Structure 1
Amino acid sequence: MSFLHYLIAFAVLIGVLVVVHELGHYTVARLVGVKVLRFSVGFGRPVWSRSFGRDRTEWAIGLFPLGGYVKMLDEREERVPIAELPRAFNRQSVWRRAAIVIAGPGANLLLAVLLYWALFWNGMEELRPIVGKPLDSTPAAIAGFKDGERVLKVDGEPVLTWQDVRWALVNLAAEKQTVDLEVINPRDEIAVRHLSVVGVREAGWEGDALQQLGLRIFRPRVPPVIGKLIPDSPAERAGLLPGDEIVAIEGQPVDSWQEVVQAVMEAPSRRLGMEIDRGGQDVRIDIVPNASSERGRQVGRIGAYVRDAGVNRDELLVTVRYGLLPAFGKALDETWDKAVFSLVMMGKMVLGEVSWRNISGPVTIADYAGQSASLGLDYYLKFMALVSISLAVLNLLPIPILDGGHLLYYVLEIIKRGPLSERTMEIGQQIGLALMLLLMAFAFYNDLDRLISS
């Protein structure tokens, strides 16, 4: 995908999440009678604005699009006419103010539920949890996993997809040393593998848990035979033809299409010598892969597709689908589990048990948004639901300037039986701003570090 595709995928993602979040605040504010002065997507000087409705609410798009806000009538910010005092935010009861504040994160959680509901009802095609041969000395190899085994249960709970396996192992790594996985091999023999998951915890939950454990996705052998060529691609210009079988690259024998792809990707703009079997004749071809940017690094591309090897998709993929009501229940469970897990991980991050490298900034989010969009609408909506949950949980943290910080003020107001002093709230805002700047600094640092090290 081009940079423009990544940018569009990211802009749509952030735009939808911000609008939904602010609509939550706006809707409840209107329901309890508070006058809304401005609904803005983005911060800074408006680049577009229009006023609508009885209250002439200004709807605006700000210069800096990473966020948004709803400005309500408030005596603390400007002089309010006597006739409109009952509609000022600061004149509302603490319960009404709390409802307005919590509606933003609540709207993001509701969006996640609706997205998961639609996905589970429509059906999602995902990889079956079939294990490839693990690398030597990894926990999976030590546990005895064999090529082609399919995971049936994790800690006694049935699993259908690789995502189920990943989610179960990440959760169980927080509390267990070893997890039992029930597997079945191609001969229908069932066994139990005792997998050590300590490495996930020791790595601070950083990176792909399955990769750390040595669990690899099963990839059936696909013969390295050329199927289709892109016109005027490096492959076509070098003289490759449909039906050619690649037998060696730079003198190293290749046995599968995956090995060809790996060799090409590692040689952007560098000449590769290929030995070809063309109908029983040995042919030598030199080819220079084009350099293409992928996830911040340069990779090689030659513009050739593999010939259909007759792989049975039904053996590798499964469609996860539920009825209308069961899909809603599954969506609620999925949203709740993800929200609780995010909150637990944030707590462990504060305690130093989880690496701060797990914090992602806009660059990483844009990268994943683009990748998920390239895989299809289902994957993109699933990623949107996950980010929506993360946004809701982040906003509910008891940090001043976030929604959770305002809720903390209201709890203290209820305990104190009166509003907090302006000075107390001002100090809280300064502390909250400092914490958020620190969080943003970590996020941008991690983004840059991933770009440089990838």
Structure 2
Amino acid sequence: MGFLTALLSFAVTIGILVTIHEYGHYWVAKKFNVKILRFSVGFGKVIKSFKRGETEFTLCAIPLGGYVKMLDEGEAQVADKEKHRAFNRQSVYKRFAIVAAGPISNFMLAIILYAVIFIIGVNGIKPVVDSVTKSGFFAQAGLQAGDELLSINNNPTPSISEFSNQFIQADEAQPLTLQVRSKHANLKTTTLNLTGDFLANPEQGLDQYLGFKFAMPKLSATIETVMPGSAASKAGLQPNDKVLSVDDQVINSWQEFVVQIQAKPIRPIKLLIKRNNTTLTLTLIPELVGDTPKVGVSVAIPKDHLKDWQVLIKKQPIDAFVSAGEKVYQLTLLNLKMIKKMIIGEASIDQISGPVSIASYAGKSAEVGLVPFLSFLALISIGLGLLNLLPIPLLDGGHLFFYVVEIIKGSPVSEWVQQTFAKLGLFVILSLTFVALYNDLIRLL
């Protein structure tokens, strides 16, 4: 089921993003009366096609992109009566607009998706400090257990997710001002003076980098549901069972149970459970899902248990679109910062993901719910739009770069220069593809 969910989610993700991107090119070209010969989602063998007007719409077998084929004298002979509708006959400004419309459509989609998310509302956990590591950045700033992190540089951080986003988007080269509410309800302001760069190694985790842990609501290790056919079902676990120990290690919370399971290799584990005032010993063998041990149970959450921990971030439509625009802008800058760091060697290229990783993340976000999937879709849409704006020949950004040169010099870039740079662009794209696939393979192994 996990594989099928990932595959379907990946297909939906790529289908939506590619269709929106190519429709941007298509819509602007139609507005300029350029003849569209084909609108294709995917490459390779045609699976499904139909013709509407003068345009053939196709769905192809390789779902890793798409294209809009326009009438162009550089690709085929054009009848005299239709030359005015050829792409190459349009002014440089019209050609620029047609090419730029694809990436812009991806950014617009991201804004719409985030606006929908803000209107629906996003549940989060308040960013409260659980413990502070000695000599870490938080300790140096005087932060203590029980402090609630209210804002970074006057930007509100109502949830852990918002705190993480605001921190990543902030300029770490400058001191960061944090507003905090202590466990005694006293407000205070403190300054974080950072060294090093979190984005150079984000895998370490924000809390580890800053030297603290977020507080989480403690849940009893009581099982609410057991998935049929799961490892837990095979072991004989039932709803309302309370886990007392794992391999003789006392379990005081659901979080401790999860940590113990994920830390164990795939081998028999001895569980001591409490069921109807009696204790039982069961043998559980976790199953590997991806690279994570899973047992197939969910936790029982008492009513109102999370009331004091949860926060709902919800906005009215106008505020939602304004906030969505700001978020897309901030994430775009963050992506540019990451690209710059990878180019100059300050961040690892291990962070480049390929189709396998994207499919995995798509499946996981879809399993969690609609809002996480929409958020993932928006994030990938920003990445796709930004990638296509990079000045790499064969990508939209490469064409836009040549059009800017054409505007400056007053004449098109020579065919020789375009072909030479196209070869360079192909090398760059193939290299990035190789790195992405290699990273995917390493993650799988």
Mapping for residues 269-348 of structure 1, pairs under 5 Å: 269-278=266-275, 281=278, 283-293=279-289, 296-301=290-295, 303-310=296-303, 312-348=305-341
Contact conserved, 2:24 with 2:104, CA < 8 A, in 1?
Answer: yes
Counterpart of 2:47, as a letter, is V
Paired amino acid for 1:297:
D
Residues 267 and 289 in structure 1, CA contact (< 8 A), matched pair in contact too: no
Aligned to 2:217: 220
Query: Taking structure 2 as the reference length, what is the TM-score of the superposition?
Result: 0.92
2:46 and 2:308 map into 1 onto residues whose CA distance is: 53
Q: Which residue of 2 aligns with 1:41?
A: 41
1:19: how far off?
A: 0.3
| Residue 198 (str. 1) matches residue 192 (str. 2) | no
Q: Shift of the alpha carbon at 1:444?
A: 1.6
Q: Is the 8 A contact 2:169 2:331 kept in 1?
A: no
Amino acid at match of 1:403: D
Alignment of 1:227-306 (within 5 A): 227-230=224-227, 234-235=231-232, 238-240=235-237, 242-267=239-264, 269-278=266-275, 281=278, 283-293=279-289, 296-301=290-295, 303-306=296-299
Amino acid aligned to 2:125: L
Q: How does 1:137-156 map to 2 (within 5 A)?
A: 138-140=136-138, 143=141, 145-156=143-154
TM-score (norm. length: structure 1): 0.90
Shift, 1:447, TM fit? 1.8
Distance 1:318 1:30 in 2: 46
Quote the Cα distance in structure 2 between the aligned partners of 1:289 and 1:44. 44
**Structure 1 residues 223-232 or 345-354, which shifts more?**
223-232
Q: 1:248 to 1:148 in 2, by over 3 A?
A: same
Matches within 5 A, 1:133-212: 133-134=131-132, 138-140=136-138, 143=141, 145-176=143-174, 178-192=175-189, 194-201=191-198, 203-206=200-203, 208-212=205-209
Conserved 8 A contact 1:227-1:307: yes
Deviates more, 1:223-232 or 1:318-327: 223-232
Q: Give the equivalent residue in structure 2 for 1:73.
A: 71
Most deviating of 212-221 and 318-327:
212-221
Given that 2:271 and 2:284 are in contact with CA atoms closer than 8 Å, whether structure 1 keeps it comes out as no
Shift of 1:48: 2.0
Give the distance between the partners of 2:276 and 2:311, measured in 1 at CA: 37
The equivalent residue for 1:4 is 4
Quote the offset at 1:449 in angstroms: 2.4
Amino acid at match of 1:120: F
Matched AA of 2:321 = F
Q: 2:401 maps to which residue?
A: 408
Corresponding position: 1:367 with 2:360: yes
Q: CA deviation at 1:105?
A: 0.7
Q: Does structure 2 retain, via aligned residues, the 8 Å contact 1:266–1:300?
A: no
Identity of aligned residues (%): 39
Equivalent position SS for 2:339: helix
Matches within 5 A, 1:365-444: 365-444=358-437
Q: Summarize the Cα distance change of 1:314–1:290 in structure 2 as closer, same or farther, 3 Å threshold.
A: same
- Is the deviation greater in 141-150 or in 7-16? 141-150
Change (3 A) 1:366 1:214: farther
Q: Does the residue aligned with 2:294 lie in a helix, a strand or coil?
A: strand
Cα distance in 2 between the residues matched to 1:236 and 1:340: 47
Partner in structure 2 of residue 355 of structure 1:
348
Change (3 A) 1:372 1:289: same
Give the CA deviation at 1:318. 1.4
- 1:345-379 C-alpha deviation (Å, 9 max, x unpaired): 22232222222222221122112211211221111
Structure 2: runs of 5+ lacking an equivalent = none
The SS at the match of 1:63 is strand
CA distance in structure 1 between the partners assigned to 2:225 and 2:386 by the alignment: 47
- 1:238-275 deviation line (CA, Å, top 9, x unaligned): 45555544332212222112212222333464222223
Corresponding letter in the other structure for 2:294:
G
Task: Identify if the C-alpha distance between structure 1 residues 184 and 418 changes in structure 2 by more than 3 Å, giving closer, same or farther.
Answer: same
Q: Is 1:98–2:96 an aligned residue pair?
A: yes
Q: Which moved more, 1:179-188 or 1:232-241?
A: 232-241
Give the distance between the partners of 2:164 and 2:333, measured in 1 at CA.
16
Relative to 1, partners in 2 of residues 1:364 and 1:231: Cα closer, same or farther, differing over 3 Å? Answer: closer
When the two chains are superposed, the root-mean-square deviation of aligned CA atoms in Å is: 2.5
Taking the aligned partners of 1:109 and 1:231, their CA distance within structure 2 comes to 42
Secondary structure of the 2:307 match is helix
Cα distance change on mapping 1:220 and 1:441 into 2, 3 Å: same
Per-residue Cα deviation, 1:8-35 (whole angstroms, up to 9, x for no partner): 1111111100000000001111110110
Does structure 2 retain, via aligned residues, the 8 Å contact 1:173–1:200? no
Cα distance change, pair 284–205 in 1 and its aligned pair in 2 (3 A):
closer
CA displacement 1:95-151 (0-9 Å, x = unmatched)? 111110111011111111111222222322222222333556654455554444321
Question: Cα distance 1:120–1:75, how it changes in 2: closer, same or farther (>3 A)?
Answer: same
